[in-house]
């Protein structure tokens, strides 16, 4: 199909677009790659597994302020997190089986808890998608700068470029291909497991020397219950990503629910084991978190020495983190398109781009994530307190919704199922409160303010669309009546283009007038004589403009005509000629464009751009 519209400007833009985004795809080519268990594991493990790279470290960072006594509780806190992972996964298994067409928190809440709960869940999820990108990329860059410290000072720039590249890939319609995810995800899982096993083996044999004992650590704060809970809250970021499986059930092969549920279980087991494993190693090796090197990097360096295997671990860590960010780039646009179709977000979010992806969602996510990275200077530890509030809000809403779902639906064992989801909702609800309270002053307040604001925005948007729909409703159509229109040709000067425009406006049919706005302050404008020489039938109306403005006297005249001569509309024809290059167009006043802008909300005025070539 010929797609070319003849214009150099358009051509340049469209060429740039082709190079960056690729050729457009036809609508009927939309399709899904269907996943089995292994493929599903590859795609959905990236987000949760990647948190192993920073979760245990954040726990340690909190406990560090209580000195050696705090550090000793590290393993205990990580075990608690592993138990929570088990509870959430068990509870979510039921959701996945019950909502085979996608059981994200927004959908489950909307169907079972009503609009407000679904808005809260939606807002929480959207915020968390942005945070996932920011945290994952920042942590991925931290894995790289741990191995190559020289890059540390450029981390914000590198992270920004990284987000932009992921966004570009997604704009091109990079699909979540199981093949592409398999290497980094399975690679990282295998590598993490090897690290843990090799580490434990070496510890058992005594062939590895731990760092100096931690007794020398300064005690900055006493070891309170609050501090332990805060450490637990920080570690809870490891649970983000479990939600992704529920959102993406549609992507699985039949039986969708069963396949997804199986992946959920495998995932929970590996994730819990890895978190605890890293915690034990860090504890035994007396690793202390440092600003410029991650805990995982320190553990890896101890186990393997700074040789090939260490660099493999760091590379895979960076890769899985960046793939985790990529997961959000399918989740955020899909959810925002979904909410846009429901009328809670701008319609543009539901537009399919050239490559059949929701381009506006991708661009919005990238812009927000980059803003966040810049604002927090790419510092994972400063971003973490904002994280997890959103995901636990979504967990709680989703599991609570499931309880009502079972109650309404009934069926075999519904009470047991409702009890299980109820227990999940209770646990995640308690954790939500713990997370919000313990991290509040460290940044969670931002999210606690943001979620209600976003919900209010959803509602304002929905109100606006309802208002527009009611105003445009065809039920009011009886009022439409015949109209009278006057065509008004705006004459700037007497030249060939003016004569062509005059022929055009006559060809339109209907009454025509020609008007000239005299802005030069001449009392007997030269144009009058020229006009009279060429045009015998129609007079030229000349209106003085003492303030040299075109729009004001024109609008004045139009209002007068409409009220005195009872025209419903006045169609203003603005002739403008086209030049060949951008620099030539700088040499002309563009008064037509400017006039059109100024007249844009004058009632009863339609503006015609009549462009002619030289």
Residues within window 547-576 making contact with a copy of itself, judged by CB under 8 A: 547-549, 551-552, 555-556, 568-569, 571, 573
Which residue of 341, 415, 496, 529 would you call a contact of a copy of itself, by CB under 8 A? Answer: 496
**Minimal distance, residue 300 CB to a copy of itself, in Å:** 45
Q: Which region among 140-148, 210-218, 238-246, 506-514 touches a copy of itself (by CB under 8 A)?
A: 506-514
Shortest approach of a copy of itself to residue 521 CB, angstroms? 4
Of the candidate residues 36, 100, 187, 346, the single one contacting a copy of itself (CB under 8 A): 346
Of these, 152, 186, 445, 504, which contacts a copy of itself (CB under 8 A)?
504
Rounded Cα distance, 506 and 571, in Å? 12
Q: Is residue 412 near a copy of itself by the rule CB under 8 A?
A: no
> Binding to a copy of itself by residue 520, rule CB under 8 A?
yes
In order of 66, 69, 74, 294, the CA distances from 216 in angstroms are: 12, 11, 17, 21
Q: Which stretch binds a copy of itself (CB under 8 A): 70-78, 183-191, 407-415, 579-587?
A: 579-587
526: buried, middle or exposed (CB in 10 Å: 19+, 13-18, 0-12)? exposed
Closest CB 357 distance from a copy of itself, rounded Å: 12
CB of 525 to a copy of itself, least distance (A): 13
Close Cβ partners of 79 (under 8 Å, ≥ 6 residues apart): 276, 279
CA distances from 383 to 137, 157, 419, 596 (A): 11, 17, 35, 46
Min dist. Cβ of residue 473 to a copy of itself (A): 6
From residue 208, alpha-carbon distances to 193, 216, 278, 570 in Å are 18, 21, 16, 88
CB of 612 to a copy of itself, least distance (A): 9
Cα 260 from Cα 446, distance rounded (Å): 34
Nearest-approach distance from CB 511 to a copy of itself, in angstroms? 9
With CB under 8 A as the contact rule, which of the stretches 158-166, 228-236, 388-396, 543-551 interacts with a copy of itself? Answer: 543-551
536 touches a copy of itself (CB under 8 A): no
The residue among 441 and 474 lying less far from a copy of itself, judged by its C-beta, is: 474
37 Cβ contact partners less than 8 Å away, ≥ 6 residues apart: 259, 262, 263, 266
Contacts of 146 by beta carbon, 8 Å cutoff, 6+ apart? 292, 293, 294, 297, 314
Q: Give the shortest CB-164-to-a copy of itself separation in angstroms.
A: 23
Q: How far is the CB of 599 from a copy of itself (least distance, A)?
A: 7
Question: Binding to a copy of itself (CB under 8 A): which residues in 14-33?
Answer: 24-28
Residue with Cβ nearer a copy of itself (307 or 613): 613
Task: List Cβ neighbours of 117 (8 Å cut-off, separation of 6 or more).
Answer: 109, 110, 397, 400, 401
**Distance (Å, rounded) from C-alpha 235 to C-alpha 227?**
12
For the segment 591-610, give every residue that binds a copy of itself (CB under 8 A).
596, 598-603, 605-610
First to last CA, the chain: 30
Nearer to a copy of itself, 38 or 552 (CB): 552
Which residue is it, tokens 């393997």?
304
Nearest approach, Cβ of residue 122 and a copy of itself (Å): 17
Q: Which residue has the tokens 């009872």?
A: 566
Subset of residues 425 to 484 that bind a copy of itself, contact rule: CB under 8 A: 461, 464-465, 467-468, 471-474, 476-477, 480-484
Residue in 413, 453, 589, 594 binding a copy of itself, rule: CB under 8 A: 589
Q: Which of residues 169-188 bind a copy of itself (CB under 8 A)?
A: none
Q: Which helix (H) or strand (E) holds 373?
A: helix 359-375
Q: Which residues of 195-210 are buried (b: 16+ CB within 10 A; e: fewer)?
A: bbebbeebbeeeebee
Cα separations in angstroms, 561 against 418, 527, 567, 589, 604: 71, 23, 7, 27, 11
Q: How far is the CB of 340 from a copy of itself (least distance, A)?
A: 10
**Would you say 572 and 608 are in contact if contact means Cβ atoms under 8 Å apart?**
yes
How many residues line the site for a copy of itself (CB under 8 A)? 91
| Per-residue binding letters, 305-344, with a copy of itself (x by CB under 8 A) | ----------------------------------------
Which one of 90, 284, 485, 528 is in contact with a copy of itself (CB under 8 A)? 485
* Smallest distance, a copy of itself to C-beta of residue 550, A: 11
Q: Kind and range of the H or E element at 570?
A: strand 569-578
Q: Which of 116, 521, 541, 563 binds a copy of itself (CB under 8 A)?
A: 521
Nearest of 60, 80, 87 to residue 71 by alpha carbon: 60
């Amino acid at each position: 199909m010929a797609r070319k519209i003849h214009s150099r400007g358009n051509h340049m833009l469209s060429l740039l677009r082709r190079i960056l985004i690729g050729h457009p795809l036809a609508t009927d080519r939309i399709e899904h790659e269907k996943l089995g268990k292994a493929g599903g594991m590859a795609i959905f493990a990236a987000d949760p597994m990647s948190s192993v790279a920073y979760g245990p470290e954040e726990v340690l960072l909190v406990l560090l302020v209580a000195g050696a006594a705090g550090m000793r509780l590290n393993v205990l806190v990580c075990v608690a997190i592993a138990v929570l992972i088990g509870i959430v996964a068990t509870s979510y298994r039921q959701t996945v089986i019950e909502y085979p067409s996608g059981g994200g928190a927004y959908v489950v809440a909307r169907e079972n808890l009503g609009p407000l709960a679904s808005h809260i869940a939606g807002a929480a999820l959207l915020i968390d998608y942005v945070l996932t990108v920011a945290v994952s990329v920042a942590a991925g860059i931290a894995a790289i700068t741990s191995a190559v410290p020289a890059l540390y000072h450029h981390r914000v720039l590198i992270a920004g470029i990284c987000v932009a590249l992921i966004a570009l890939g997604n704009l091109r319609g990079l699909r979540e291909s199981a093949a592409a995810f398999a290497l980094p995800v399975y690679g990282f899982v295998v590598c993490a497991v090897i690290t843990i096993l090799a580490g434990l083996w070496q510890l058992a044999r005594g062939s590895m020397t731990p760092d100096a004992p931690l007794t020398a650590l300064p005690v900055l704060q006493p070891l309170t219950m609050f501090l332990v809970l805060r450490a637990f809250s920080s570690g809870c970021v490891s649970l983000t990503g479990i939600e992704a499986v529920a959102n993406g059930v549609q992507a699985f092969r039949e039986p969708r629910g069963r396949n997804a549920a199986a992946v959920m279980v495998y995932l929970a087991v590996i994730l819990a084991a890895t978190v605890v494993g890293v915690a034990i190693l860090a504890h035994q090796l007396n690793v202390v978190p440092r600003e410029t090197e991650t805990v995982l990097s320190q553990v890896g360096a101890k186990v393997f020495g700074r040789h090939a295997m260490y660099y493999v671990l760091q590379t895979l860590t960076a890769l899985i983190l960046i793939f985790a960010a990529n997961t959000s780039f399918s989740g955020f646009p899909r959810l925002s398109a979904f909410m846009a179709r429901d009328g809670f977000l701008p319609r543009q979010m539901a537009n399919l781009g050239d490559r059949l992806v929701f381009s506006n969602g991708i661009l919005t996510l990238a812009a927000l994530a980059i803003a966040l990275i810049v604002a927090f200077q790419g510092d994972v530890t400063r971003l973490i307190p904002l994280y997890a509030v959103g995901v636990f809000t979504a967990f709680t809403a989703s599991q609570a919704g499931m309880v009502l779902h079972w109650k309404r639906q009934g069926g075999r064992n519904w009470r047991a199922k409702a009890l299980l989801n109820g227990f999940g909702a209770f646990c995640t609800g308690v954790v939500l409160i713990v997370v919000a309270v313990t991290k509040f002053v460290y940044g969670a307040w931002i999210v606690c303010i943001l979620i209600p604001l976003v919900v209010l925005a959803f509602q304002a948007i929905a109100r606006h669309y309802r208002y527009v729909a009611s105003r445009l409703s065809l039920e009011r159509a009886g009022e439409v009546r015949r109209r009278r229109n006057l065509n008004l040709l705006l004459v700037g000067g007497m030249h060939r283009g003016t004569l062509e425009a005059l022929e055009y406006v006559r060809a339109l049919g209907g009454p025509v007038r020609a008007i000239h706005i005299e802005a030069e302050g001449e009392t007997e404008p030269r144009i009058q004589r020229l006009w009279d020489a060429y045009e015998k039938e129609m007079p030229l109306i000349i209106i003085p403009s003492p303030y040299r403005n075109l729009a004001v006297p024109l609008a004045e005249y139009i209002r007068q005509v409409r009220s005195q001569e009872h025209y419903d509309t006045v169609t203003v024809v603005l002739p403008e000629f086209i030049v060949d290059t951008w620099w030539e167009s700088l040499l002309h006043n563009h008064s037509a464009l400017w006039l059109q802008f100024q007249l844009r909300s004058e009632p009863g005025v339609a503006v015609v751009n009549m462009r002619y070539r030289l």
